Amino acid sequence: MIREEDRMRDIFIAGNWKMNLSCEAAMQYARDFWPPEEKGLITAVAVPFTMLESLEEGLEGSSLLVFAQNMHYEDSGAFTGEISASMLKELGTDGVILGHSERRQYFGETDEAVLLKAKKAVSSGLIPIVCVGETLEERDAGRHFERVESQVRSLFTGLDPEEAEKVTVAYEPIWAIGTGRTASSDQAQEMCAFIRKTVRDIHPGAADKVLIQYGGSVKASNIADIMSQPDIDGALVGGASLDPEGFADIVRRAAEAKGLRIKGRQGR
Ligand code: 13P
């Protein structure tokens, strides 16, 4: 456990629903999941586009932020099937996941596009969570640092220092996503520290401000171990965020591992 006075940054726990649930289920989730209101604790759920509006409505008065899972970097134009930052803002969306490995893998998203999207998100007032991470082959071949460094460098060298400090990075080793195989907390810390060092090389002033999350088979039983690491500020939780009670448990354990005692009762 980390003592609260030693914690330098906010704790940021986000759920990624991916292509799951429904508008009705999202409304029910908004009734069942009410995050603790604690200074220094940020919570969010990233949901399918169709659920953004109903969730924003259902969460009125709650501190839970609502994120999208992707967006286009242009404001408008002939981009069939895409959604712009201004369209997300119109619905009251707070942030957006960018460059998730599933988007890189199945939809051809490149580092160049992720940079343009991150810049657009920041200038639009959306909080970007940019995902990076290596494949199993890359890790087995000892090329995981090289892979993640190239993703982090291509992002941060394209950002101004003021933009850089507004970006949250999620380290999600692809081999740990949806597999039940979590990176050990030492492996996660080693890479998150490396990400921060790489950011420091490019933007020395931003490195201690950038929030870094770990993602990949995070659940209630492993969150405290992960969060007890100094360079890990939060988690991006997939499958385990779909159940409001389970997600509430993860949030509470994460906060406590960083020395934040949840005072009030969770829930409405
Ligand atoms: P799981 O937690 O289901 O492994 O998913 C991780 C993830 O991809 C979050 O973005």
Residues with CB under 6 A from ligand 1: 16, 100, 172, 177-178, 215-218, 236-240
> Confidence band (pLDDT; 50, 70, 90) for 129?
very high
Structural domain includes residue 4: no
For 108, the domain range is 9-257
Structural domain includes residue 3: no
The atom number, within ligand 1, closest to the CA of 97 reads 10
What pLDDT score was predicted for residue 242?
Answer: 98
Tell me the catalytic residues: 100, 172
DSSP code per residue over 108-170 = ---HHHHHHHHHHHHHHTPEEEEEE---HHHHHTT-HHHHHHHHHHHHHTTS-HHHHTT-EEE
The atom number, within ligand 1, closest to the CA of 236 reads 9
Hey, what long-range contacts does 193-197 have (CB within 8 A, 24 or more apart)? 193/230, 193/231, 194/145, 194/148, 194/149, 195/132, 195/148, 195/152, 195/169, 195/171, 195/231, 196/231
By most ligand atoms within 8 Å of CB, the mutation choice from 177, 217, 241 for ligand 1 is 177
Higher pLDDT, 182 or 190: 190
Number of domains into which the chain is organized: 1
What mean pLDDT comes out for the span 137-145? 96
C-alpha atoms less than 13 angstroms from C-alpha of 22 in its C-beta half-sphere: 2
> Confidence band (pLDDT; 50, 70, 90) for 7?
confident
The atom number, within ligand 1, closest to the CA of 180 reads 4
The atom number, within ligand 1, closest to the CA of 176 reads 4
> Confidence band (pLDDT; 50, 70, 90) for 227?
very high
Q: Tell me, what CATH number does 73's domain have?
A: 3.20.20.70
Lowest mean pLDDT of 2-16, 75-89, 169-183, 221-235, name the range.
2-16
Q: Which two tokens stand for residue 84?
A: 């712009």
Tens digits of residue pLDDT in 25-75: 999 999 999 898 889 999 999 999 999 999 999 999 999 999 999 999 999
Q: Is the pLDDT of residue 240 over 80?
A: yes
Structural domain includes residue 119: yes
Nearest CA to ligand 1 atom 7: 238
Structural domain includes residue 265: no
Structural domain includes residue 28: yes
What pLDDT score was predicted for residue 1?
Answer: 67
By most ligand atoms within 8 Å of CB, the mutation choice from 47, 70, 217, 247 for ligand 1 is 217
Structural domain includes residue 268: no
Q: What is the model's pTM?
A: 0.96
Percent of the chain whose predicted confidence (pLDDT) is above 70: 97
What CA dihedral angle connects 20, 23, 27 and 32, to 10 degrees? -20
Structural domain includes residue 1: no
What mean pLDDT comes out for the span 158-162? 97
Q: Is the pLDDT of residue 266 over 80?
A: no
How far does residue 238's CA lie from ligand 1's centre (Å)?
3
How far does residue 5's CA lie from ligand 1's centre (Å)?
30
What contacts 188, CB < 8 A, 6 or more positions away? 171, 214, 226, 229, 232
What pLDDT score was predicted for residue 182?
Answer: 85
How far does residue 104's CA lie from ligand 1's centre (Å)?
14
